[in-house]
Amino acid sequence: MQNGWFKLYRDLLEKPLWVQSTPEQKTVLITLLSMANHQEKEWEWKGTSYKVAPGQFVTSLESIAEKCGKGISIQNVRTALKRFEKYEFLTNESTNKNRLVTIVNWGFYQGNSDDLTNQLTGNQQAVNKQLTTNKNEKKDKNEKNNNTSCPKQAYDENSSFYKLSFLFFEKIKMNNPAFKEPNFQKWSNDIRLMIERDNRTPEQIKYLINWCQNDNFWKSNILSPAKLRKQFDQLIIRVKSESENKKSGLTLIKTPISNPDLSSDEIRKMKKLAESVPL
């Protein structure tokens, strides 16, 4: 077992790699940094002796999950490794027994401070100039990232956000085969906002996706997660009202909740009715 400590730069907290990661993926990321070797070490790899460099380590999915602790599954680890590879944070080579993980640019972030200084310049004045330049470059890069609403490959295809986005697209295509393929990263981000900011559940979102694409009115008006998010409360009221009317044997007139022909008293009654019917 390795002793000592490792560096964790605050700059990491502003990168899409961290910002767009799930709590499980963040746990895996920190665990990987703690597992990486700080100096050359000899391991067995592919049946032969292998010297791993700083930033590398030989491990397994089971071992990573175990070190992450309670609540992290092997599938969580597998998904995180795949996502981190897309961000070029690490490389991951596996066999049927174990895998070799390499943290990219380990020397820059975790290397010896003296070594880093020597690489930058031979005198203190040049060091200060270079560090100032690097700081400004990082600031520009962070501003660019903040202004980008949808970082490239921010959402893995195996994430629940992406899967719900793809389901939405498939349902729309069933009604309109000519519907163009959307930006799934942007759609996934809107799904994430519904779950994390609006406290919607994936089950609710999935239900409304199916429901609105089967409704004669809403299927032509709800054509993106952003529009679904905007109309979410109205759709819930409509679904609950429809459910209540089916129970009472009545036929619900397909009129949007926002229709100006409905009086405020009628809308208030529908909201009261919605509160008494479970989704």
pLDDT digit string, tens, across residues 230-240: 999 888 888 88
Strand order in the sheet with 99-103: 56-59, 99-103, 90-94
Nearest Cα residue to 159 out of 138, 178, 187: 187
Its pTM stands at 0.40
C-alpha 277/C-alpha 279 separation (Å) is 7
Q: Which two tokens stand for residue 223?
A: 């054509």
Parallel/antiparallel/unpaired status of strands 90-94 and 41-45: unpaired
Instruction: Please report which confidence band the pLDDT of residue 275 belongs to, taking 50, 70 and 90 as the band edges.
Output: low
- pLDDT tens digits along 9-67: 787 788 888 999 999 999 999 999 888 887 777 766 666 777 777 888 888 999 999 99
Can you give the pLDDT at residue 7?
A: 79
Residue with tokens 């599938």: 75
For residue 164, give the nearest of 111, 204, 198, 135 by alpha carbon: 204
pLDDT digits (tens, 9 = 90+) for 161-195: 999 999 999 999 999 999 999 999 999 999 999 99
| Type of residue at 189 | N
Q: Which of 269, 264, 275 is nearest to 239 (CA)?
A: 275
Tell which CATH classification among 1.10.10.10, 3.40.50.2020, 3.20.20.100, 1.10.3720.10 matches the domain 10-111.
Answer: 1.10.10.10
Write down the domain spans for the chain: 10-111, 114-149, 160-275
pLDDT digits (tens, 9 = 90+) for 117-167: 444 344 445 445 555 555 555 555 555 554 444 444 478 888 889 999 999
State the Cα–Cα distance between residues 25 and 150, nearest whole angstrom: 19
